[in-house]
Amino acid sequence: MKTEQQYFEESKSMNEYMDAMSQLKEQSFAIYESFELPEDTAFIEKLKNANVHILAITEDWCGDAMINNPIIRKVAEAADVEIRTALRDADTDLIDRYLTNGGRAIPMYLILNEAGEVITTWGPRAPQLQQLVTDLRATLPDKEDPTFEDAQKAVYENMRGQYVNDSKLWSYVYEDFKNKVAAAI
């Protein structure tokens, strides 16, 4: 069985991954280009000095990856931390080690120390985004309802639109990631 460090070493950089995206690329780059890292030199310095690296388990069709990857990439760039990507569906052995409520929810970020050991994880969503998703899903009809599929598509389009256009959501991602990682390094 491969270690997390082996997955990291075999993976593309986040830059390469985003450049090669075939889905949600425009939206991801819109967030990346618009998100301004908060003036938070204490956290960035702490991260820079922690001698860590990040492995993101992701896929380019995922709306949560669309919002999280550009923000976590900006954090990593500011702290000069290498971030690479492993595709969830290419090898489910890795994501199966980091299930969320029994599911293969992504993205999942593994923070590895210099020895390649996972010291903490973050993902797939900040709590405020989870609440948004829960609230939007509550508006859906029953799965047996003939309108369910169309309603679900509309909800996901609405959610992706909010992810791209509401910078407050970006700050929730940043703050939750920062708090979780800062506590571990």
Which residues have CB under 8 Å from 133's CB, separation 6+? 125, 159
- Each residue's pLDDT tens digit, 30-55: 999 999 999 888 999 999 999 999 99
Structural domains in the chain (count): 1
Q: How far is CA 28 from the centre of its chain?
A: 11
Residues contacting residue 119 through CB under 8 Å, at least 6 positions apart = 52, 111, 112, 113, 184, 185
pLDDT (tens digit per residue) in 49-94: 999 999 999 999 999 999 999 999 999 999 999 999 999 999 999 9
Residue 148 backbone phi and psi in degrees, to 5: -55, -50
Q: What is the pLDDT of residue 40?
A: 82
Which phi and psi (to 5°) does residue 72 adopt? -65, -35
In a domain, 57, yes or no: yes
What does the pLDDT read at residue 132?
Answer: 95
Q: What is the mean pLDDT of the chain?
A: 97
Q: Does 143 fall in a domain?
A: no
- Given this model, what pLDDT does residue 30 score? 98
Are 107 and 68 in contact, with CB atoms under 8 Å apart?
A: yes
- Which string of DSSP letters, residue by residue, matches 33-87? HH----S-HHHHHHHHHTT-EEEEEE-TT-HHHHHHHHHHHHHHHHHT--EEEEE
Residue 150 is assigned to a structural domain of this protein: no
Distance CA 185, CA 168 (A): 26
Q: Which domain holds residue 17?
A: 4-124+167-184
What does the pLDDT read at residue 108?
98
pLDDT digits (tens, 9 = 90+) for 107-130: 999 999 999 999 999 999 999 999
In a domain, 133, yes or no: no
Q: What CA–CA distance (Å, rounded) separates 125 from 33?
A: 20
CATH of the domain at 105: 3.40.30.10
